[in-house]
Structure 1
Amino acid sequence: MINKENVIIKDMFQPAHIDPSKSEKIAKPSLNFWQDAWLRVRKNKGAVTSMIILAIIIIMAFVGPMLTPYDFDHQNTKHNNLPPRIQGLENIHWLPFDGTLTRRNGTEYNAYEARNIDAYYWFGTDSLGRDIFARVWKGTQISLLIAFLAAVIDMIIGVAYGAISGYIGGRVDSVMQRIIEVLVGIPNLIIVVLMILVLKPGIIPIVIALTITGWTSMARVVRAQVLKFKNQEFVLASKTLGASDTSIVFKHMIPNMFGVIIINTMFSIPNAIFFEAFLSFIGLGLQEPFASLGTLVDDGFKSMIAFPYQMIIPSIMIALIMVCFNLVADGLRDALDPKMRD
């Protein structure tokens, strides 16, 4: 640097002024593990969109049956097999909510006007005249209940079994793992079908049947995590300070694997929904007058050609729930355990 006379002088060089109080100032607030994971989840548009859709579906599963004046189990044979009809949309002919059906010769007619029925069924009615809108949301409620119950029981049994097996090790671990291999070796469908045949079909028997072998994958994952943590410093420090084995496993190890447990539980929910729908579709699910998404698909399949909406609507609901849960599970996997990302 030079002055006007192009002469460099010593006064031009001054030390920079540094404020010691700001030298180690953190520009952003510190984040814990869950806050950091949530930031990563928010960047996943598919996971966020799926969370919103699932929240709407769960709310509608409880609120939906109350939005219609018809009960899900109320039968009115005079109104059987009516197509969807919604107020305000019935005059828009390119939407499938105007109450029209197609005859075998290809001509269309308004089923409500032909039968002189002044009513609105948003998703139509089934062969017994029951409102499909109320039955779909009631079936969604029951299917989600069965799936969440099965997932929670799988998580509890799998975490406890896997943690005990991995922490004790030795001969106990070998015996416990052979038990899992025997259960895994038997086809899951055979066990579930036998359980349903022995017990009367219902929510509790279906949950029990789903959890007989459903916990094995969780147990294996937890066992692997316990084996990884078993010789790490925080576990050795806890042993040195006199912590009991129960305290080490359930207060130190398991909280460090919450991410893996949540991910596996989220993946098990859509599997349980699909398996329950499959059991209901083959006639081993819930019995009348109760309804699940699987029983609705089964009922609609019997009249699929004449009244396709009776099967399409619950099928779309099953597909939507399964896709959303899988996308949320993928997003949580990438956020909670980025090393698991392919």
Structure 2
Amino acid sequence: MANHSGKRFPKEMFEPAHYDESLGEKIEKPSLNFWQDAWLRVKKNKAAIISLVLLTMLIIMAFIGPYLSGYDGDVQRAEHNNLPPRIEAIQHIDWLPFNGTITNREGETLTPYEDRQVEESYWFGTDQFGRDLFTRLWEGVQISLLIAFLATAIDMIFGVSYGAISGYFGGRVDNIMQRIIEILMGIPNLVIVILLILILEPGILSITIALAITGWTTMARVVRGQVLKLKNEEFALASKTLGATNIRIIFKHLMPNMVGVIIINTMFTIPNAIFFEAFLSFIGLGLQPPDASLGTLIESGFKSLLLYPYQLIIPSIVISLLMITFNLIADGLRDAFDPKMRD
């Protein structure tokens, strides 16, 4: 045998390749179901994993945080009002925050704990009534998450059912149901909240109802689009041919194929609900003091921003972390559930 330069190679240099037929059936990559494959791709998204860990810590703190400081968030102590954050372990390090000092407008460093001879330490400081902000912050996170999850659950249950029925039956049923959605989407949420407050007292119930009245429409339209695409697939037509009822086809066969889309939209709905609750409480249409939520804490801190900025900065950081983590997790789930993103 010769190469392109004319040089000949002896036959002994060449050996036939041996093929092991048993290797033809060997599976190089383990068999994974849909959820296992999605989880593997979520783990590759570092932002989503970090957000998941951080969100888990925030939710845990929402439950155990009010009991860590040892103070009741509803107890007012006028002699301890507007104390800055102080953590005993670092209170003697001047250049670190949470050392119990505060700087006034003239640039002078004040030591309210020593001046008032206060021996207790408040990790996040106190408000104008002397209430512990650490306890009130985590109580506020509890309320905000409760409203968000409650409104999102209603959104998911009603929106998914409404959209699935509308898309599956189509025709006149679909036209009527979609016109109802368009009417509801044309009404601003703020108008609905104001009308509810005229009927109900401002609080968790009125905010949840306001979020539930119009919040489900986006989910319904997304689910409707998925049902329109899936209802003519072979598995749905086969079920219908075998005599399955419409309800069974919708919730037994079509719904499992839309779980990824439903989860993604739910994860995007939760931060919107948290922000909407905080916005309503900030403008005075949501929860009312002394009840604590992230919105009421931010509203109270905003009034004393120039003198005591920590009262606004700390709850603002927490609500920002909640919204960022939920959105990053939703982005990670969207990429994981998308077949086009598979490597």
Q: State the TM-score, normalized to the length of structure 1.
A: 0.94
The residue aligned with 2:185 is 184
- Counterpart CA distance in 2 for 1:340 and 1:264 is 18
Partner of 2:61: 60
Q: Which residue of 2 aligns with 1:23?
A: 24
SS at 1:105's partner residue? coil
Alignment-derived partner of residue 317 in structure 1: 318
Question: Aligned residue pairs: how many?
Answer: 336
Say whether residues 1:228 and 2:229 are aligned partners. yes
Query: 1:334: which partner in 2?
Result: 335
- Structure-2 residue corresponding to 1:137: 138
**8 Å CA contact 1:196, 1:209 repeated in 2:** no
Identity over aligned pairs, percent: 68
Measured after TM superposition, the shift of residue 230 of structure 1 is: 1.4
- C-alpha change, 1:340 and 1:185, in structure 2 (3 Å) is farther
CA-to-aligned-CA distance 1:242-274 (integer Å, 9 cap, x gap)? 111011000000110101000100000000000
2:122 pairs with 1:121: yes
Distance 1:103 1:167, change over 3 A: same
Change (3 A) 1:14 1:93: closer
Give the match's secondary structure for 1:130. Answer: coil
Distance of 2:334 and 2:129 partners within structure 1: 44
C-alpha displacement of 1:77: 1.0
Contact 1:333–1:340 (8 Å) recurs in 2: no
Tell me how far apart the structure 1 counterparts of residues 294 and 10 of structure 2 sit (CA, whole Å): 88
Cα displacement string for residues 195-217 of structure 1 (whole angstroms, at most 9, x for unaligned residues): 13321122122111111100000
CA RMSD of aligned residues (A): 2.0
Is the Cα contact below 8 Å between 2:140 and 2:293 reproduced in 1?
yes
* Alignment match, 2:82: 81
- The offset of 1:13, in angstroms, is 8.1
Aligned residue for 1:149?
150
Moved more, 35-44 or 99-108: 99-108
Given that 1:154 and 1:215 are in contact with CA atoms closer than 8 Å, whether structure 2 keeps it comes out as yes
Structure 1's unaligned 5+ residue stretches are none
In the alignment, residue 28 of structure 2 is paired with which amino acid? Answer: A
Partner SS state of residue 91, structure 2? coil
Q: Which moved more, 1:45-54 or 1:18-27?
A: 18-27
Q: CA deviation at 1:106?
A: 2.1
Q: Give 1:189 deviation, angstroms.
A: 1.6
Instruction: Tell me which residue corresponds to 2:167.
Output: 166
Change (3 A) 1:86 1:243: same
Unpaired runs of 5+ residues, structure 2, are 2-8
Moved more, 89-98 or 308-317: 89-98
